Amino acid sequence: MNLEKVIFGFFVVLAATLNFGFFIGPIDDPRVHNIYELFAAVVVNLIATVLKFGDRTQIGAFHLATSLVADLQLLAAAAVWAIASATTDGQLGPEATSSVVSLSGGALLANLISITILLVETVSYHRR
């Protein structure tokens, strides 16, 4: 078993599950979308991105691209949350919450694409 592949797979799947945990729930209800869960999703996605930099294959480039998309979406969601909180005395309204959750949904889609690529790559791997 390759420990590097295990760590890589762990962070790819953890990024997707954290993102899903934040995303799930009514889109406009700020009570069910936790800022700390969004923060954890951002941090783990950034770690997964760093792990994807070493792969020089075409699939590796696509892995990196999906990770960069997820990072961009999650950082934008965090920025919207920060700006909305700063302008409304810390309380997120339904409109801002909808924007944050929608952006995290885009990141979730990118993470699901990355997991799909990882699964296809794993299934098509032939032992040498």
pLDDT class for 90, splitting at 50, 70, 90?
A: confident
Residue 86, C-beta contacts closer than 8 angstroms, at least 6 positions apart: none
Q: Tell me the pLDDT tens digit for each residue of 62-72.
A: 999 999 999 99
DSSP annotation of 57 reads: S
pLDDT at position 57 is 84
Please name the residue that has the structure tokens 């990882």: 118
Q: Tell me the pLDDT tens digit for each residue of 96-107.
A: 999 999 999 999
- In whole angstroms, what is the distance from residue 25 CA to residue 33 CA? 7
Please name the residue that has the structure tokens 């700006």: 83
Three-state SS sequence of 72-83: HHHHHHHHHHHH
One-letter identity of residue 40? A
